Amino acid sequence: MKSCVVIPTLDARDMLAEALESLERQTVAIDVVVVDNASTDGTGEMVAERFPRVKIVTTDRNLGFGKAVNRGVAAAPAETDVIVLVNNDVVCEPEFVERMLAPFDEEQVGMVAGVLLQGSAPALVDSAGIEVDSTLRAYGALWNFPAEAVSAAPTPFGPCGGAAAYRLAAFREIGGFDPAFFAYWEDVDLALRFRLAGWECGFAPSARALHRNGQTLGAGSPAARALDAFGRGFVLARYRVGRRSPITRASVALVDWPALLVHLVARGELVPLRARARGIRAGRSRGALRPPTELATVSLHEAVARQWRFLGLRLSGQAPRHFEKTEGTANLR
């Protein structure tokens, strides 16, 4: 099975070099496409000099994550069967790609989730794919769990875009990443569309990579919160989640509004609320899709509990902060 790894990047020359070095050590032959989102730090020159086998796609501006990936996919070799996505702040174990490809032996598998470990705490999971609740709120599967827990974990709803693989024919048929997204939630939307098209998600628990989360934008930064709010609004609107019943609308409020109110009251931030409204308008502009809530992997009770637990960690300063930044734009998660 022929695979092509696509990496979008922005002004992260040294980190990207580490990611590419880890891909050179893979146990299977791969093609690699780097999409340079108008970097100004010599990324293109570094790749050309140190990694001559890597194909570089250069953009004239920062397209964000999903649109950059779509460009990279378009540049993949014609014989490619599977597209593998990793972030520029990821270092892959040598067997990463080989193990990501294995679940595609099952014909019904259209996408595969790998495992990201926290760069600041490698014994802990950053993401083992995506879970969703009945409101289509998304969660990083096994976030902050010990890495040992992965071996007994169930298959997630879909892959996190930082460690994902997609059957290329299906990716193209579904339309790839929606260009409405700049960053965050584009992988959730794509997983939803894969599921609605009848594809299943595979899981590669032994495909692991170290993820230095938040290096481009800053985990938990105001810009990241705005992008998250936009994506959530888009998914709620496009999949017409709130139209199902008053109970569903109440469930959305229970899951979403505690954090939004903290932004508004404690931080005085209106940006997430405005971004959510923009996302709702953008989602409504797309053709309506059915919310596949029957595939939810997180109960409403657990969803509410998770939101309050994470909010408590944030307020107490105990949540992993990774590499905080307060300005800038992102092309990575």
Q: What is the pLDDT of residues 55-95, one digit of tens each?
A: 999 999 999 999 999 999 999 999 999 999 999 999 999 99
Low-confidence ranges of the chain (pLDDT < 50): 215-219, 321-333
Give the position of tokens 């902060």: 321
Q: In whole angstroms, what is the distance from residue 296 CA to residue 139 CA?
A: 11
Q: Which amino acid is at 181?
A: F
The helix or strand, by DSSP H or E, that contains position 57, with its residue range, turns out to be strand 55-58
Q: Which amino acid is at 91?
A: V
Express each pLDDT in 300-326 by its tens digit: 989 888 877 777 776 666 555 443 332
Residue 70 half-sphere exposure toward CB, CA atoms < 13 A? 19
For the domain spanning 3-211, the CATH number is 3.90.550.60
Q: In whole angstroms, what is the distance from residue 209 CA to residue 26 CA?
A: 12
pLDDT recorded at residue 309: 78
- Collapse the DSSP code of 283 into the 3-class scheme (helix H, G, I; strand E, B; otherwise coil) and give the result: helix
> Which pTM value belongs to this model?
0.91
Give the position of tokens 């990694």: 51
How many other CB atoms are there within 10 angstroms of residue 25's CB atom? 12
In the chain, where are the structural domains located? 3-211, 222-316
